[in-house]
Amino acid sequence: MLQPHPHICLVGGGFGGLYTALRLGQFPWTSQLTPKITLIDQNDHFLFSPLLYEYVTGEMQSWEIAPSFVELLGDTPIQFQKAQVTGFDLAKQEIHLAGQSNLSYDFLVLSTGGQTPLDLAMGVKEYALPFRSLSDAHNLGEKLKSLEASSLNKIRVAIVGGGYSGVELACKLADRLGERGRIRLIERGKTILTSSNQFNRETAQKALDKRHIWVDTETVVESVTAETISLRFKEKLDILPVELVLWTVGTKVPDLITSLELEKTPHTHKLKVNQFLQVENKQNIFALGDIVSTPEAVPSNAQVALQQADYCAWNVWATLTDKPLLPFRYLPLGEMLTLGIDEATLSGLGVNLEGTLGHLTRRLVYLYRLPTLKHQMTVGLHWLTKPLLEQF
């Protein structure tokens, strides 16, 4: 029998974990059933990853895109615990934390997010930079500063992966490096943005062409060294000099999740969840985001995690209050890409926008999506006053 004041633990403070926690804190709990809600993450900050590209170009500061959990949760009943989760005891319902006491839970929400696989070609782990976290963006920024301060006439950058992240990075770096930049985008498929719609794909291609970014399709990376990248196009192998290689290919489930004795999909090792986002055969364990396989296939992006968070929070609350659970239904609302400084493309709900108007609309949409009203107001006010302050 469930004890009063059950403990809900959420592992991972990305879009899935943080937004589920915030929603749980807003439900009308009874005084006897008010749960203890704990969000656990190894970082002290949340990352609004769609705006990470603006950090590289200096358009935004870290506090705008990566506010601290303490700040975000200060006016909520949610407790934040900075810790590295090392494992789980599902039988005892305990979470193992590095250097800290085990944490007991009644309900567990898993939303650790995925990782960038760096073992897909020789030398990638040693010499290429991923682009997923704030520390990744900081490392990239430091590398760029060093290259910009050098005597090099040309700064050659290879970006592996012609998906959203690769295309957005290519345009941002081209704008930052200007005439010194020599950007190459490498994609093993026949086209960039294979899962995107025609309008956004064509707009992105125009943005790449405008910035003189080389696009190598049907090209496979054989190896990476400190100074070169080896590319195979059909039967031809080219070894090209580079100053920087960025790796944006793929997403893998973290070892923390794959080691769990729970039902997973073959090959991807994602957790199988039912229509209510409950892990198979575990009614008190929910999971969402990049680490799950849902009954109906959905994209791996922030929009999906945000929508899943609402359903996940409701279904945890419904389970505790004997209310009906809601089956998750993904509603595609369109997609947006930043295509350089002050440019973007947006397509969804019958609307297609590009250029400056696309950029402004994308900013407003993401402002609305920031996790708390307080942070929305702080960032929004900064965006409004920044042009005025820069004049003085």
* pLDDT for 1 beyond 50: no
Which residues neighbour 155 within 8 Å (Cβ) at sequence distance 6 or greater? 147, 148, 177, 180, 181, 182, 243, 244
pLDDT value of residue 300: 84
* pLDDT for 61 beyond 90: yes
pLDDT value of residue 203: 97
Q: Mean pLDDT, to the nearest integer, of 132-139?
A: 96
**Per-residue pLDDT reduced to its tens digit, 158-174:** 999 999 999 999 999 99
Nearest CA-CA partner of 355 in 342, 366, 373, 364 = 342
The helix, strand and coil proportions of the chain, stated in percent and rounded to the nearest 5, come to 35, 25, 40
Token pair of 114 as six digits: 């995925």
Q: How far is CA 22 from the centre of its chain?
A: 18
Q: Distance from first CA to last CA of the chain, Å, rounded?
A: 65
Q: Confirm if 258 and 115 have CB atoms less than 8 A apart.
A: no
pLDDT value of residue 267: 86
Q: Which residue has the tokens 């195979």?
A: 232
Q: What are the extents of the domains in the chain?
A: 7-42+83-115+252-321, 124-247, 345-389
Q: What is the mean pLDDT of the chain?
A: 95
Nearest 5°: phi and psi at 6?
A: -65, 155
Q: Catalogue the long-range contacts made by 279-282 (C-beta closer than 8 Å, 24 or more residues apart).
A: 279/110, 282/90
Say how far apart CA 187 and CA 226 lie, in whole Å: 21
**Per-residue pLDDT reduced to its tens digit, 273-284:** 999 999 988 999
Global pTM?
Answer: 0.94
Token pair of 52 as six digits: 């990470």
Say how far apart CA 170 and CA 246 lie, in whole Å: 10
pLDDT value of residue 321: 92
Residues facing residue 220 across a β-bridge: 232
pLDDT band at 33 (very low <50, low <70, confident <90, very high): confident
Give the number of other CB atoms < 10 A from CB of residue 258. Answer: 15
Residues facing residue 68 across a β-bridge: 45
Query: Within 13 A of 379's CA, how many CA atoms are on the CB side?
Result: 26
> What CATH number is given for 7-42+83-115+252-321 in this structure?
3.50.50.60
DSSP for residue 6: P
Q: Which residue has the tokens 């998906």?
A: 163
pLDDT band at 268 (very low <50, low <70, confident <90, very high): confident
Question: HEC string of 99-120?
Answer: CCCCEECCEEEECCCCECCCCC
Say how far apart CA 2 and CA 319 lie, in whole Å: 11
Residues facing residue 64 across a β-bridge: none
Radius of gyration of the chain (CA): 22
pLDDT value of residue 2: 56
Q: Pairing mode, if any, of strands 244-247 and 155-160?
A: parallel
Total residue length of the chain: 392
Token pair of 74 as six digits: 């200060």
Burial label for 389, CB within 10 Å (0-12, 13-18, 19+), is exposed
**Per-residue pLDDT reduced to its tens digit, 339-351:** 999 999 999 888 9
* pLDDT for 101 beyond 60: yes
Q: List, edge to edge, every strand of the sheet that includes 85-89.
A: 85-89, 94-97, 103-104
Give the SS3 label for residue 355. Answer: helix
Q: Pairing mode, if any, of strands 344-348 and 335-338?
A: antiparallel
Task: Match domain 124-247 to its CATH number in 3.50.50.60, 2.40.30.10, 3.30.450.40, 3.40.50.720.
Answer: 3.50.50.60
Domains 7-42+83-115+252-321 and 124-247 share a fold: yes
The full DSSP string for 289-315 is GGGEE-SS----SHHHHHHHHHHHHHH
Amino acid making up residue 5: H
pLDDT value of residue 349: 85
Say how far apart CA 275 and CA 281 lie, in whole Å: 13
